[in-house]
Chain A
Amino acid sequence: MNNIPKHTPDIFAILSRGNFISSNGSKGKLFDIINYEDNYTILKEFFSHTGYTLERGHNYFYFSQTDEPNLIIEKKLEQFAYYIDVMDFFSSMDNKPVVGTRYRVTQIAEECFSNERLKQKIYALSRREKMVDKVGEIAGDLTAAGFFEQEDEDTYKVMDAIHYLEEVISLITIEDDGEQTNPQ
């Protein structure tokens, strides 16, 4: 029990709020701590007493919980449907949202003005008046979920946790309807 790292309360505070700890974000130090030697195993065991399971993704960590009330399921579906919209928006841009990609809100707004397809997408996503605010709103949503991190007023960086969304998306199988095949 003595080997539990000093930063465990910080780690718990972040993960228990449903956030991710990514290696390339400002919480990178905490990532390194969990990743250090057998800290992951120690912490997994330690946190298992709290009802949460510490999980490891590709360069990120998060908490999972096995039993959940039905009420959440509906919320989850809704939330994820929203992420599909948002990810569709970002993946329609020239610069794809891979780990480490930096987005500048003003730059995205510019791109939306010149690209009619993007413009339609963003109008469907946000009701804010100004284009910059629209972009800011969805970037803020992804930041709150831990997939992005805000570096300064204008810049957002894609975290390792984006892999989580990708993992889930790659799990979804599309029924072959003859029109288009599943790109997998």
Chain B
Amino acid sequence: MKAPLTIRDLVNLLYQNKEVIEILFGNKDSINKSEILARGDMSDEKLEKLVNYEIIHENNNVIGLDDRITTFIEEFLEIGEVTTSFITDNIRSLNENLKYYHIDVNPKFLRNIKRSLKKINSTTSREVMKLHKNIDDTYKNQDNYLIKLQELDKYKRKRDDIINLIMESEQIVSDAQGLFNTIIDAELNSIVLDLRYVLVRNRDYLNEIQAQIIDYINKIQHQAAIYKKIQRLKELKDYEELKYKTNFVDVVIGTRALMFQRRNPLKSKLSLDFLHTDHGYTITQKIAKKLHLLRNNHRKPAGKMVAGFDDNNLEESASLNIAGLVEKFLQSDSDLFQFVLNYNFPEKVGTLSLEKRISLYVGITIDYDNRLLISGKLGKMQYINEKKQKLQLGYAIIKPNKKAVK
């Protein structure tokens, strides 16, 4: 049972179900009843109500939007099929009303004339826009090559129809111009002027569209020729003749598009300044967490070190004043090995082991060799190591080079 529906009811109904209607409009005829009912915003009663008001149709568990709603949306959004019937209707009604007005000068007919003129204006522009959109869409998105060709051909004919209708409208308006001149009505004048302007503009636009359709159709036919050529090239390739019977090599070498080159995605370094920012810090934290670098982060950083904690170390290295030691040796008359071995180092340094003294001896001979006199003689020394083994040590006897000092 269908209850009478007011405009307000209809608009409300559409508004309440806006999401479902959007989906139904997008997927024409392919939505199952269960799919719609599974939505949170839809219930059995709501669906029944929509069916009752004939906003949607249910057929074999498939749900679709009522044609009137679909047409309404398409009309309004200027999508959908191009039709010339609207323009034809308006032209007919314009003709009728002009005839009536000749017979009876009645403002009612004048009102109708104005309405028809306005409508011709708007419908023509709308259909031309739709035509352009559809042609473009067909060329780019129609997925079957043969259908695409035929559809473009259809639009070509439609375009011819529209242009004929525009010429017809122009003819009617210019025939009636004498009549319009006798009617003193500012609005009528502006409507007529506007219409004439729009018709001319649309005619230009349609010429452009014509060029485009032809271009598209040519492109497709050109493509068909290319397929034949590809197959021929493939044949040559299979016979290994591609390089000899065609200029394949030259042409391909001549292509400059980047697509054939190895892809080197640009790799940039991290900005250090960025890492210092708060945002950079959170990102490094996140990555550290991922890499488990923060396992030990419960260990807080150690407190500040006590001032002068490393004074001891400083002292020792400072006390081993090798340059001073060498100066002293140069004053003496002994040989370097015995000198280093028996030298009484200051107390701060502590006692130096034999090994340390030997390395000191070696170090001095290397660093100060220009001030030393290496005689070439060898000295020998007996000593006992930590394991109580008796060992003999040979060393070069090195004397200060008295000449080099001065």
Whether the Cβ atoms of B231 and A88 lie closer than 8 Å is yes
CB distance from A126 to the nearest CB of B (A): 16
In the complex, which of the residues B219, B229, B231, B256 contacts A65, with contact meaning CB atoms closer than 8 Å?
A: B256
Contacts of A143 on B, CB cut-off 8 Å? none
Whether the Cβ atoms of B255 and A172 lie closer than 8 Å is no
B119-146, CB < 8 A from A: 138-145
Interface residue? B324 (CB, 8 A): no
Whether the Cβ atoms of B142 and A76 lie closer than 8 Å is no
Whether the Cβ atoms of B245 and A100 lie closer than 8 Å is no
In Å, the complex CA distance between A171 and B229 comes to: 11
Sorting the interface of chain A by its residue count into under 10, 10 to 19, 20 to 34 or 35 or more gives 35 or more
Interface residue? A43 (CB, 8 A): no
Interface residue? A1 (CB, 8 A): no
Contacts of A66 on B, CB cut-off 8 Å? 256
- Which of A13-21, A32-40, A131-139 is the contact stretch? A13-21
Contacts of B225 on A, CB cut-off 8 Å? 183-184
Whether the Cβ atoms of A16 and B233 lie closer than 8 Å is no
In the complex, which of the residues B138, B227, B247, B252 contacts A80, with contact meaning CB atoms closer than 8 Å?
A: B252
In Å, the complex CA distance between A182 and B228 comes to: 9
Q: Which residue of B lies closest to A69 (CB)?
A: B261
Interface residue? B381 (CB, 8 A): no
Interface residue? B265 (CB, 8 A): yes
CB distance from A14 to the nearest CB of B (A): 11
Whether the Cβ atoms of B229 and A170 lie closer than 8 Å is yes
In the complex, which of the residues A24, A62, A183 contacts B257, with contact meaning CB atoms closer than 8 Å?
A: A62
Whether the Cβ atoms of A168 and B232 lie closer than 8 Å is no
- Which of B108-116, B234-242, B305-313, B356-364 is the contact stretch? B234-242
In the complex, which of the residues A88, A98, A146 contacts B259, with contact meaning CB atoms closer than 8 Å?
A: A146
Query: A4-22, CB under 8 A of B: which get 1 and which 0?
Result: 0000000000011111100
In Å, the complex CA distance between A55 and B256 comes to: 10
Indicate whether A73 sits within 8 Å of B140 (C-beta atoms), given known contacts A166-B226, A174-B246, A184-B229. Answer: no
Interface residue? A46 (CB, 8 A): no
B250-275, CB < 8 A from A: 251-263, 265-266
Contacts of A184 on B, CB cut-off 8 Å? 225, 229
Interface of B toward A, CB cutoff 8 Å: 138-145, 148, 219-220, 222-234, 236-237, 242, 245-249, 251-263, 265-266
Supply 7 A–B pairs (Cβ within 8 Å), ascending by A. A72-B260, A80-B252, A87-B227, A91-B226, A96-B224, A100-B140, A174-B246
